Structure 1
Amino acid sequence: MHGVFRVHSGGIMDVSCTIIADDQEARERLSRLLSQTNHVDIIAQADNGAEGVRHALEKQPDVVFVDVEMPGMTGFDVVREVREQGGRHTFIFVTGYDQYAIRAIRHAAFDFLVKPVDIDDLKAALERFIEQKSRKENGRISDMFIRQHNLTGREVEILSLLAKNQNSKEIAEALFISKHTVDTYRRRLLEKTGYKSTNELVHALLKANG
């Protein structure tokens, strides 16, 4: 699972964001608006596409806000580069020209905001993202995924809790087993599914649950 998406005990989710825009004024405005929005964490900003790609891949934000028109590497180039390197981030394009909307959709953008960004439009986009993410996080593991990897009942239980962003200690407490046992199951899940990390495994699960 990409990102550092977190769920509070009350069910409210934190969203980590990265902003990529060469226009300092637009970048600062978006940063200010995001700072006024509850449960949003800006973990990186970049003033060019190349730096933005690096931040996206290294920091794994939940949402990447990217300006369409930038010198050198455009917003569309950023998305293409991140995708080619295996990133499955959620992108929201920001631009002063709404004629880019159709192209943004073709690049699998989650949403499209026109500058100057309006706080209500921004909040609406984030609410849609949280709603979609919540559906995936709370969805059960598909039968196809279980059969494909020959998962046992206990493995399914643990994977379901991992998908809800619970750590080994929390899972152990929930299932009344030891943390060591949970860690053993986690290693076994990686061996059976062929993924290199729990993040990769859970991301594949969420994608399969679509």
Structure 2
Amino acid sequence: MLRVVLVDDEKLALDELSFILSKNSEIEIIGKYESPLAALEFIKKSEPEIVFLDVKMPEIDGFTLAKEINKLDFQVNIVFATVFDKYAIRAFEMNAIDYVLKPFSEKRLDLTMDKINEKYSNNKNALLKEKSIEGMIKIPLWKDECIYLVHPQDILYCTVLNKEVFVFAKEATFTTHDTLNQLANKLINHNFFRSHKSYLVNLDRIYKIVPWFNSTFVLQIEGLKEEVPVSRHYVKDFKKILNM
């Protein structure tokens, strides 16, 4: 199920969009915001797959909000939903997946969801293809201006520090030009788990799970003093994976 956040300073438009989208069984509306700044903070924490947003809004406009969303370390499909038809080119230049005009119709929004579902289907097929290619098992990582090919099972965990992604392996620490989300896609079939918006951990390298505040956990990794957090957003999936 794809999680959706709606942003529009007009409550009637927000309610109308919510009503139509709620009929789609493939999505879950997890947030509705009239304030774009409040929406941005929620998006950072909840990491939705889709954000519908208006163009003209107080505080910051839709393009400024989209720019901030595009900086985040996870992929978000942005759909502009507005009464203005003159900004479509600019929207697509910002990698928006669709541009929908008010008043909304169920048929038009179904086309939007078809486009998003097709994108996710293509991404999954690409990952399967990559896995099947001979020689694509190891991950290219950087250290001392050289590229090392590292097997996924030698990676202990990955994290973001000052907007740079670090990969901690058995005997060395590497960096990568990938975002943490891109790295997670590469490691999706190697038993890695996104435990926090800034952490990706190898489940096979965890030897101890310590209960922490607010029903969260910290993970102790083989051969390391550093601990990896499991944030509240990921606790439910973590427990499910480990049958806890």
Q: TM-score range by the shorter chain?
A: 0.5 to 0.7
- In the alignment, is residue 187 of structure 1 matched against residue 187 of structure 2? no
Q: Which has the larger radius of gyration?
A: 2
Write the distance in 2 (CA, Å) between the matches of 1:107 and 1:84: 11
2:140 aligns with 148
CA contact (8 A) 2:7 2:36 kept: yes
- The letter of the residue matching 1:123 is D
Unmatched runs of 5 consecutive residues or more in structure 1: 1-13, 156-183
Write the distance in 1 (CA, Å) between the matches of 2:137 and 2:100: 35
Higher relative contact order at CA 8 Å, sep ≥6: structure 1 or structure 2?
A: 1
Q: Identity of aligned pairs, percent?
A: 23
Write the distance in 2 (CA, Å) between the matches of 1:100 and 1:205: 37
The 4+ residue runs of structure 1 with deviation greater than 4 A are: 142-145, 192-195, 197-200, 203-206
CA contact (8 A) 2:7 2:33 kept: yes
CA contact (8 A) 1:90 1:109 kept: yes
Taking only aligned residues, the RMSD between alpha carbons, in angstroms, comes to: 3.0
1:19-42 Cα offsets, whole Å, 9 max, x none, are: 011110110011001111121100
Unmatched runs of 5 consecutive residues or more in structure 2: 142-148, 159-166, 189-244
The count of residues paired between Structure 1 and Structure 2 equals 163
Q: Which has the higher strand share?
A: 2
Write the distance in 1 (CA, Å) between the matches of 2:157 and 2:11: 47
Q: Which has the higher helix share?
A: 1
- In the alignment, is residue 126 of structure 1 matched against residue 113 of structure 2? yes
Write the distance in 1 (CA, Å) between the matches of 2:35 and 2:72: 18
Write the distance in 2 (CA, Å) between the matches of 1:205 and 1:100: 37
TM-score (normalizing by structure 1): 0.67
Over 3 Å counting, the alpha-carbon distance change for 1:96 and 1:86 in structure 2 is same
- In the alignment, is residue 40 of structure 1 matched against residue 27 of structure 2? yes
Give 1:89 deviation, angstroms: 1.3
Give 1:83 deviation, angstroms: 2.5
- The letter of the residue matching 1:121 is R
Over 3 Å counting, the alpha-carbon distance change for 1:71 and 1:84 in structure 2 is same
Over 3 Å counting, the alpha-carbon distance change for 1:185 and 1:31 in structure 2 is farther
TM-score (normalizing by structure 2): 0.58
